[in-house]
Amino acid sequence: MKKRSFLKSLLMIFGALPLKLLSYPKIEKITFDYGVASGDPTNSHIILWTKVSKKNRNDINIKWQVSNDINFNNLIASGSHKSSFSDNFTVKVDAEIPQEFNGKKVYYRFNYQNIYSDIGTTSTLPSDNPKKYNIAFCSCSNYPAGFFNAYKEIANNDDIDLVLHLGDYIYEYGMNVYPSTGSEEMGRVVEPPHEIISLDDYRKRYALYRSDEDLQNLHASKPMIVVWDDHEFTNNTWKNGAQNHSNNEGKFEDRIYNAIKSYYEWMPIRENKNKSKIWRDFKVGNLFQLLMLDTRYLYRDKQLNINSYLNDGIINKEKYGKDLLKKRSLLGAEQHKWIREKVSTKFKWSIFGQQLLIGPKHLPQLLRDFKSSELPNYLKNIIDLAGAKLPYNTDQWDGYPNEREQFYRNIEASRSSVILAGDSHDSWLSNLYDNKDKFVGIEIGAPSITSPNSIDTFGEKINKIEDGFIQENRDLEWINGKNKGYVQLVISNEKINVKYLYVSTVKSKKYKALQPFKFTIDHNQPLKS
């Protein structure tokens, strides 16, 4: 056969073949725009997280790797995980780490067709008793309120082994609602610009927060244990509604579904069959147990409305006080039972991570001397409570005093109890006593990451306000309403060293780390002034 005839015949044969047999598979272009994260460490497992950015809706298999060296020359665990449109193309793996690397620093990453994510650093919880273990905890990170400088400080703190986020990781408000001053100038405008209600809304808000470089670096540098508070849903949520949910915003149940689904998609948290039950426990040898609680949503009854007891500026204190003592749920019977079963004298410390201030907090008498124009709107209506020794914030444990007493009874088996709190935006240290004046434990309240605190409300009068709170509340040992930051706990067999670490500003990326305030907690002993 002549050469020309052979080539012609060959072309005819190939031309008759289906196009699919001749085409090469295209490598889909993806990116890992939101970094990596790890969380919920146990003695053997760790949740590894990332999110894939892609154009089409097709499922995609993402590979993951764990190594004991940053160059990934020695893989100690690996696998693949399907990333799907139904889960917003997030990837979450419950990776088993070999026992020989228990409690040690390891590295992880994700890849698809040689496209790699950032490298994350994490560790499981040690099974033995380390000489010390460092926890950072924080809360209330409102994106438009300022820069996440405190997150940057936690990420850069090489002493920190584990980070707890006690809620208000995101805020639900629309643009120019809370707070708005300076957000546009800082380039911290929320997306979407309206209040988040739909599943797509919540997903976009998480994407906005996780686009922040400092938050990405924090997640990549350390494992995190999280719990939600109200703003992951909407302000002052309870089991059947919320202060910031109205009928024209659709069914509350739909909003809850959207909030919970997006939360589990975006957070490095282990998933139970019932995703509403977020409480869970962690252990570091016999040194401490950590119980993460839900005081926000599943079993919480509606908060008392103080304004309903108000008449011409005077609060019906007798009726208000009686109604506070009526049976109302915060934790719920199921969670109470779980706490009783988990708390053990086996551990030198029992630490409870939860959302709300638990110790009584009363408005100081001196607030009555303030002009109405000097008070925030939320205090103007209830100023009659100043000096009355009645709670002013019924969204906190103060609004559920019977539940507080039951919780105190549930943790009696603890050798030493330390209760962590977020939500309030100020820093607090309190000795806790039950209604029979028996010492229960220590409360440590975290400052906000960015959300407004007392100095944003009272300005130069802040020192007077702080002194007034200490004078009014006998259990309160210390308060700081001036600064934003986080708390570090250095836990050892003998004591817990507490450090409040603050940043000089959240309104600029240029800031200074301030000198920490330090305190020491001894076993089963009240703090001493």
| Total domains, the chain | 2
Domain residues for the domain of 51 are: 28-124
Domain co-membership, 80 together with 155: no
Is there a single domain that holds both residue 252 and residue 118?
no
Residue 366 has pLDDT above 80, yes or no: yes
Across 324-341, average pLDDT: 98
The 10s digit of each residue's pLDDT in 422-461 is: 999 999 999 999 999 999 999 999 999 999 999 999 999 9
- Residues 106 and 132 grouped into a single domain: no
Per the domain annotation, does 217 fall within a domain? yes
Using pLDDT thresholds of 50, 70 and 90, give the confidence band for residue 14. very low
Same domain, 47 and 158: no
The answer on 190 and 117 residing in a single domain is: no
Query: Which of 76, 108, 124 is a domain's end point?
Result: 124
Contact criterion met (CB below 8 Å) for 383 and 312: no
Last residue of a domain, one of 124, 149, 178: 124
Instruction: Record the tokens describing residue 488, joined without a space.
Output: 């570090």
The mean pLDDT of the chain is 94
Q: Which of 104, 124, 144 is the last residue in one of the domains?
A: 124
Structure tokens at 409: 């009874």
Mark whether 110 and 142 lie in a shared domain: no
Domain shared by 113 and 193, yes or no: no
Q: Is residue 18 part of a domain?
A: no
CATH number at residue 106: 2.60.40.380
Please tell me whether residues 162 and 251 are part of one structural domain.
Answer: yes
Would you say residue 6 lies in a domain? no
CB 294 within 8 A of CB 237: no
pTM for the model stands at 0.94
Residue 16: inside a domain: no
Is residue 82 located within the same domain as residue 170?
no
Predicted confidence (pLDDT) per residue in 112-139, tens digit: 999 999 999 999 999 999 999 999 999 9
CA–CA separation, 257 and 263 (whole Å):
10
Question: Looking at the predicted structure, is the pLDDT value of residue 240 above 80?
Answer: yes
Residue 5 domain-assigned (yes or no)? no
Asked if residue 7 is part of any domain, the answer here is no
Tell whether the model's pLDDT for residue 102 goes beyond 70: yes
210 lies in the same domain as 84: no
Both 221 and 283 in one domain: the answer is yes
Query: CA 427, CA 422: separation in Å to the nearest integer?
Result: 9
In our burial notation (b when 16+ CB lie closer than 10 A, e otherwise), range 438-473 reads: eebbbbbbbbbbbbbbbbbbbeeebeebbebbeebb
Residue 373 clears pLDDT 90, i.e. is over it: no
CATH number at residue 515: 3.60.21.70
247 and 367 co-located in one domain: yes
- Is 374 within a domain? yes
For residue 12, tell me if it sits in a domain: no
